[in-house]
Structure 1
């Protein structure tokens, strides 16, 4: 079984995506469970070798994967995995890796009495020095998450107007890519002019990019200054103006060039940095299509985190290229209204057992989620 984590220990931090984080208590309780129940944590290379052998499905082997390269993976995850003699895989985007070479403090320093736990700073992204130590130790194996992790517009349908909303923080990643590693710890709202029009968007490796007309964007920003208090009216005006400024979509050639950069360049950079073969790819947000899958095969990846929801010809007929089916692990139950933290220390253990097929634990999860939805409705 392959499990998907992102962040650890930042569930209460002042961060828009803190719901991606599992608590330290949950994570360490789960690690203790794996050790107690004699589960073996393996890396993706062993998973790949075993994936064609159906008998191995009954063995107590688990792959722990961590997406995005958050700094807490160095501060918390690496020390805890090392403590319990466990290992995992960390998927990183080179564009998000910090340039600093200073190795920052982590839990190991706390255990040695060099620093107080309260002095640890887990928000942000890892740097190359920290990644090198984790990879060379054999505790966390570095693999590719593509280059950028970007979102892009994919249609000329106007959806919203930017006025500093946290869920559009990715606009700053595109505007100032060199500041991407710091988007969690610095205020980047001002990187994008208020009034910037927002179009339908999606994941970089699953779409043809749309570019709005510069003059339309400038008009939208100017109109925002006078009409910002009436969003509905402003959107109506902009939709009428948009008819004269249709924008454009990237060509087939440009789209393929962009995909190649994402897939080939990330692999090349990581292989050069760590002097090893990088064979496994995690699609950011599960965004991919026929072209990006074909290019990932051409790039030399052995497997990726694709799911069967797309009928992809090359993925289905290529027997050597594997899908990595992953099961999400988190400290929150998400409803249509909010993300709800679960206090039970053994919650990840329960979630794991649910993924393994336990009817009891699946029922417990859905009962809890239903109760939260009912409470939300009552409070409304």
Structure 2
């Protein structure tokens, strides 16, 4: 009797979970597509190919953030099993390595370049590894012409929560203007550097004219979809394919919840 009751409760939780999250689309976060030993944010091309082929084989369809927005706001239909691929910082290998692989499979992705670091080495923070170049304006236009999407990753990649109001507005507004002027397109989505944001950042991103903004998991709501705090799932260079499969599956939101719990526990232990 007790076991039967447990099964009923467990099934009820699963059904409720499925009803709550079945429309949530997994958003994956990449950085470099390169083989850099010891760098978890640099995914070797072979692993990236393996992941793209998994998506293709299992009927996933890549979409842009604009398509997701149009679905929820304007009720435009989405293809079956949608997934969003995003690239932070706009590294040159995104265009040179990732773009041809995406095109071969007729897939889409979104890149978030740092407006003042376009076509330069990644020296906006300290690196233990050899610096590498970001995409220049011509390469971003190639990305754009291939049907890919471009968003803003601010002017200088600062911790936005540490910026005063003047600096914060400049990071959000001027980066959008520069990208729009250089690429002759609307820049509708923002990616918070390091995934950090607060209420002031969120409000000012809306005022700057963005349609939405991406974080990682810190402070992102789980039980509702907040357009200016969209959670993403990082893809690590150490990640096996079975874990990738779970991260794009229907219970992908579990990874967000687990990371939030992990961060909360670490915060409590530090006190």
TM-score surpassing 0.5?
Answer: yes
Alpha-carbon distance between aligned partners in 2 of 1:98 and 1:65, rounded to the nearest angstrom: 19
Q: 1:325 aligns with which of 216, 226, 231?
A: 231
2:36 to 1, 8, 11: 11
CA contact (8 A) 1:2 1:327 kept: yes
Most deviating of 91-100 and 20-29 = 91-100
Question: CA shift at 1:32, angstroms?
Answer: 1.1
Match of 1:148 in 2: 156
1:72-119, Cα deviation, whole Å (9 max, x unpaired) = 10121111111111110001101211169xxxxxxxxxxxxxxxxxxx
Aligned counterpart, 1:207:
162
1:293 aligns with 2:202: yes
Q: Which runs of 5+ in 2 are unaligned?
A: 1-25, 122-130, 256-271
Which one has a bigger Cα radius of gyration?
1
2:232 & 2:51 partners in 1: Cα distance? 17
Secondary structure, aligned partner of 1:134? helix
* CA-atom RMSD in angstroms: 3.3
Q: Is 1:86 the equivalent of 2:41? A: no
1:36 to 48, 52, 57: 57
Q: Deviations over 1:25-67 (max 9, x none)?
A: 110011111112221111100111224699x899401110000
Give per-residue Cα distances to partners, 1:245-298, cap 9 Å, x unaligned: xxxxxxxxxx21101110000100111111111110100001222222111110
Q: Residues 9, 309 of structure 1: CA spacing in aligned structure 2 closer, same or farther, 3 A cutoff? A: closer
Cα 1:19–1:294 change in 2 (3 A) is same
Q: How does 1:245-260 map to 2 (within 5 A)?
A: 255-260=164-169
Q: Report what 2:145 is aligned to.
A: 136
The aligned length equals: 218
- Segments ≥4 residues shifted beyond 6 Å: none
Report the equivalent of 1:50.
71
Q: How does 1:1-380 map to 2 (within 5 A)?
A: 1-12=26-37, 18-51=39-72, 59-98=80-119, 123-138=132-147, 140-150=148-158, 203=159, 205-208=160-163, 255-306=164-215, 309-310=218-219, 321-332=227-238, 347-348=240-241, 350-356=243-249
In 2: Cα distance, 1:307 partner to 1:78 partner: 23
**Secondary structure at the counterpart of residue 11 of structure 1:** coil
User: Structure 2 vs 1, CA of residues 348 and 124 (structure 1 numbering), >3 Å: closer, same or farther?
Assistant: farther
Q: Is the 8 A contact 1:68 1:145 kept in 2?
A: yes
Offset of residue 307 of structure 1: 6.3
Instruction: Specify whether residues 32 and 349 from structure 1 end up closer, same or farther in structure 2 by C-alpha distance, changes over 3 A only.
Output: farther
- Cα pair 1:301 1:321 within 8 Å, conserved: no
- Change in 2 beyond 3 A, CA 1:58/1:358: farther
Q: Contact (CA 8 Å) 2:67, 2:78: kept in 1 or not?
A: no
Mark the CA change 1:356 to 1:22 in structure 2 (over 3 Å): closer, same or farther.
same
Gaps of 5+ in 1: 101-121, 151-202, 209-254, 313-318, 333-341, 363-380
> How does the TM-score come out when normalised to structure 2?
0.71
